[in-house]
A and B are shown apart, each in its own frame.
Chain A
Amino acid sequence: MKGLRKVLTPFAPDQSGASGVLYSMGALIVIIDAGGCTGNVCGFDEPRWHESRSAVFSAGLRDMDAILGRDELLASKIGSAVERIDTSFVAVIGTPVPATIGTDYKALKKLIEGKVDIPVVPVVSNGMKLYNEGEKEAYKALIDEFATDTPEVETGQLVIGMTPLTYGKDYIDLTLDDIKNIRGAKKLVAASASGIDACEYLGKEFEIFSPVFKNSIPEGIKGKTLVCHDEVVGKTLRDAGVNCDIATFFKLHDSVKQDGDKKITQEDEFIEMVRDGGYDTIAADICLKELVPDYEGNWVDLKCFAISGRT
């Protein structure tokens, strides 16, 4: 059945992706939820949370807030927090609750801006899409709000989309200044699906590769290989000489896709690819092995935080 998971737990959702992009930018991040979504982000999908504090807050919505659409109350809570928290902008991140009640994010932005004198960046996410979509929306919202057409500072290379959810401990943060000057960057590198989306949105030339895997093929990969990870990880390994097909639960852009590559959604699609593909090696997070217990080939554990939550 479509949407039924019998073995794997759900992957990182879009709100986690959005939060991950914003985490290091000094924003006051407000997740518009009752609390559970924020708990998921901080307690599970944000490995940095245990090491460094960031201003991530839950809106603390209650049933009547949602039913009556008390956006004014939310704006007041945010206004009150901004008075006491040192921050350069406010980011509001959507969850299933605003998706259900049809929150108008543009109106919410205006409402909050009426209470605070710093920029407000709404990120449209709903908890039903995957993390790369949330990262994309966050990049787009940041670019719309902050990226200048005539940057004052010249920037060298900027790597976009290298977040903990794709790369675990090997992430590279972007700062708010990076976003402000992004149009003046000498070189843009898209390190993941959301990086490609962000670069395409900017309309500038960019390269697609993963700095982690560009000159480093994981030990153990041999023969015909199925890489199941972010598409850019697969492409980078392919460009480095690995004979591979790419399977990804996330986005697969036409600019990456080749014959044999597949965007998969269901557990059964991965099982089918492994069963019918005749692969010598599977390079994927080890948690996926549970889907194909009878696979006898070579397995290289390519960790993906968005899949397993392992850094």
Chain B
Amino acid sequence: MKREAICFTAEEVLQRGKSDIPSELLSGNNLVYSSPATLAYNSPGAEGFGVKRAGLSVPESIMLIVAPGCCGRNTSLISSMPEYKNRFFYLEMSEPDLVTGRHLNKIPDAIKEVLEFLRDNGKKIPKVVMICITCVDALLGTDMDRVCRKAEDALTGGEFEGIKVRPCYMYALTREGRRPPMVHVRQTIYSLLEPMEKDARSVNIIGGFAPLENTELAGYLKLAGIRNIRQISTCKTYEEFLQMASANFNIVIDPEVRAAAEDMNKNLGIPYIELTRVYSTDKISSQYKALASVTGIDIDDGEEKAEAEEAIVRLKNKYPDLKFNVGECANANAFELALSLVRMGFKVDEIYATLAPENFVYVKNLALLSPDTKIYCNMEPTMLYYKISQSDADVTVGKDAKFYCPDTPNVAWNQDTRPFGYQGVRDLMNKIYDALEEAKA
């Protein structure tokens, strides 16, 4: 037995072609190894903004997790954060519930009891109750929309009338389906918005659950006369959140919110434009040109582009032969980032990421510039045997890369807030520079 992690070079992947991506690099073909990266992948509620935190991004909301105890176990990691205090509640399913489905009948009373508990303890009464259900109900075929309507009806005529009840599907089983959990939860959230008069000077940035970092995008919109730039994470109240329905258009910054954007287009008459987070300054420039063209606003990105490119040059001048390992547990598409780094003139030794077919285009270009770059799949079972001695990288990007290369300077780059555009490039370059300087010191 070899006891070593399986990998493929970019060139090998290119030679096999998009229709023959090695099964070891794809998800769903093998047992799934539990590395830190797959933990985030594995557990839709565990790390970053999974379904649970995402559901609670609606201001003045609480969540009732209706599931076997195991599904809510790791929520204590989240509920210890001050902003989630008194916002998570649990209705634990028992074995008889599994057979009879009676847990669904308990939901209206459970909601009432939770609301009374909050009232009696002087806590704020929520505007929305999210009901989080898991794989069991996916298999039972539970009609959760109906269950939520029934729960809302049960509040009618009482002191809690008007509180919305909505489903959140933490269905890990459907991750690669048509509506994966993180797509669905975004649809649920924005389904709360109701039609209202449009404000030509309002725009929503949707997709994230934490604010964009201080990017140039907001500046461009303001210069174009946009007065209200709303993100769900910056809405302090439910009323403020509802104002998102007045937007003139949506800027989609994450493909997982595309379905919700389509819904908003259909139901609220809000069109959308999609911007992707990339680390190539030329691509960023093209995107801003497209945004300007579609929306009819003027965007002069010369200064910000120059700043980002200066940061690249500063790093390149100080560390001309820098070699990277890049992970997927970061605010970047690992393949796009790797390609951008190579185009900047750096080297990329290893990538740790699942190769979805839509990322093949990056590997194709990478193979032409850096054919020996090795691609590992975080989830592949033999990653158990990955040893740092295999790589001589100078620096790593991504939390998962840190796990595999513990002694190499690392920029985790997995903060909740979202880097974007030139700001993302500039700050990442500076962080890498600082990490290397710190390691040297």
Q: B-contacting residues of A (Cβ < 8 Å)?
A: 1, 3-6, 9-16, 30, 33-45, 49, 53, 55-63, 66-67, 77-78, 80-81, 84-86, 95-97, 99-101, 126-130, 308-309
Contact = CB atoms under 8 A, between A and B. Distances in A.
B98 A100 contact: yes
A62 B70 contact: no
Contacts of A38: 32, 34, 42-43
B381 A81 contact: yes
A97 B171 CA distance: 11
B413 interface: no
B73 A128 contact: no
Nearest to B174: A63
A84 B384 CA distance: 10
B121 to A, nearest CB: 9
B169 to A, nearest CB: 12
Interface in B31-53: 31-34, 38-39, 41-47
B60 interface: no
Nearest to A13: B70
- Most chain A CB within a 10 A radius of its CB, from B38, B72, B94, B110: B38
Interface in B84-140: 88-95, 98, 103, 106, 109-110, 113-114, 117, 134-136, 138-140
Nearest to B92: A3
B71 A60 contact: no
Interface string B370-412: 0000000001011010000000000000000000000000000
Contacts of B140: 100
B138 to A, nearest CB: 6
A301 to B, nearest CB: 16
Contact of A96 (B31, B73, B74, B136): B136
B382 A85 contact: yes
Given A35-B38, A58-B31, 15 more contacts: A1-B113, A10-B75, A14-B70, A35-B172, A37-B70, A40-B73, A60-B28, A60-B31, A62-B173, A62-B174, A62-B177, A84-B2, A85-B1, A96-B135, A128-B94
B176 interface: yes
Nearest to A85: B381
B139 A100 contact: yes
Given A6-B117, A97-B139, A34 B172 contact: yes
Contacts of A95: 70
Listed from nearest, the 8 A-B pairs whose CB atoms lie closest are: A39-B43, A127-B70, A34-B172, A35-B42, A39-B42, A13-B70, A10-B69, A9-B76
A14 to B, nearest CB: 8
Contact of A42 (B39, B69, B175, B381): B39
Interface string B256-278: 00000000000000000000000
B414 interface: no
Given A13-B70, A60-B31, A128-B68, A34 B173 contact: yes
Interface residues of B, number: 67
B430 interface: no
B382 A84 contact: yes
A9 B3 contact: no
Nearest to B36: A43
Contacts of B294: none
A9 B75 contact: yes
A10 B30 contact: no
- Most chain A CB within a 10 A radius of its CB, from B31, B74, B136, B138: B31
14 contacts: A3-B103, A3-B106, A5-B91, A34-B172, A36-B46, A43-B74, A55-B384, A57-B34, A63-B138, A63-B177, A95-B70, A96-B71, A96-B136, A100-B136
Contacts of A53: 384
Contacts of A33: 135, 172
Nearest to B141: A67
B3 A1 contact: no
A86 B385 CA distance: 10
Interface string B1-45: 111001000000000000000000001111111100011011111
A67 B173 CA distance: 10
B109 A13 contact: no
B136 A44 contact: no
Given A1-B113, A63-B173, A86-B3, A99 B31 contact: no
B170 interface: yes
B417 interface: no
B287 interface: no
B98 A99 contact: yes
B77 interface: yes
B109 A39 contact: no
Nearest to A10: B69
Contacts of B91: 1, 3-5
B79 interface: yes
Nearest to A307: B76
Contact of B90 (A4, A85, A101): A4
Given A9-B88, A60-B27, A80-B30, A16 B70 contact: yes
A224 B93 CA distance: 35
Nearest to A55: B384
B381 A12 contact: no
Nearest to A100: B139
A45 B71 CA distance: 12
